[in-house]
Structure 1
């Protein structure tokens, strides 16, 4: 039995949910999100909550149960509050600047890295060493943050690179004489 799956997803005031043609559509103050529904899971919108239950007692249905409930929960949270990931850049000469729908990164390469911000996401640079990515789709926010981080992962000797806020970088001791 899934402990997460047993809990119903509460629908806050101002949010509507509907199931049509195999998709769950959630509409709220920040926008609309949809999720393709699995045949192994039963979804029911009852009053101010969404129930997620396995369609049968098969192993695969029980495996998907908790994950599908979490995906539904992320839809509801996304249209009400949204999601934000913050990246911190450390290193001499490393900086970032958001210019409209483009993010310009200076990461010690012979060229600047220009990234186009995907549709539905917003990128802010409060200062030169901080990048804030926000949007209503948790997967899209996390994916774009991971793509930015991939250019310069934090290295273990000096800690230079791009890391998530709150991420611990294991530091190594340098070479001894």
Structure 2
């Protein structure tokens, strides 16, 4: 069995985990998430501790995956996930209009992004975007979509980047 699958998951206060034949559901203060069951791995809940057990003779490749998915779901419904984006460039701005995010990224038109269900967008300043949600995969996907409108370019570094992302700038062509 993998080392990841052996590590137990402790459920924080207010978080419930239900195991059914078709999948596993986690419910907490920040929402509820579910995942389908993977073959060869079973989940046992005892006294607020979740253990993943790989069946005898089965391949253990899903044990670590199931444990990681469950740990991410438990953290998501209890604490939530957050991703921060920065806009770098003259005139690059972000603002909220209701639930829609308006981006001015140097195009001839503004880019309007509607957040999917379960994601909240905030703009603390004109050059910062905060993406919050309980589903780790969905938060990362939304951040990647917004970044995809204007990825950082390698010569001046202008564009939408993750907070703390280091862009290696290329040297300009010499005469």
The normalised TM-score by structure 2 is: 0.95
Matches within 5 A, 1:18-167: 18-58=18-58, 61-167=59-165
Q: Over residues 45-94 of structure 1, what are the superposed CA-to-partner deviations in whole Å (9 max), with x where a residue is unaligned?
A: 11111111222434xx3222212111000110001100000000101111
Asked if the contact 2:10/2:50 (under 8 Å) is kept, the reply is yes
C-alpha separation in 2, matches of 1:65 and 1:173: 47
C-alpha separation in 1, matches of 2:6 and 2:131: 32
1:22 is displaced (CA, Å) by 2.0
Q: Cα RMSD (Å) of the superposition?
A: 1.2
Name the counterpart of 1:3.
3
C-alpha separation in 2, matches of 1:5 and 1:20: 19
1:21 is displaced (CA, Å) by 3.2
Q: Which runs of 5+ in 1 are unaligned?
A: none
Asked if the contact 1:103/1:114 (under 8 Å) is kept, the reply is yes
DSSP 3-state at the match of 1:146: helix
C-alpha separation in 2, matches of 1:150 and 1:104: 15
DSSP 3-state at the match of 1:72: helix
Q: Which runs of 5+ in 2 are unaligned?
A: none
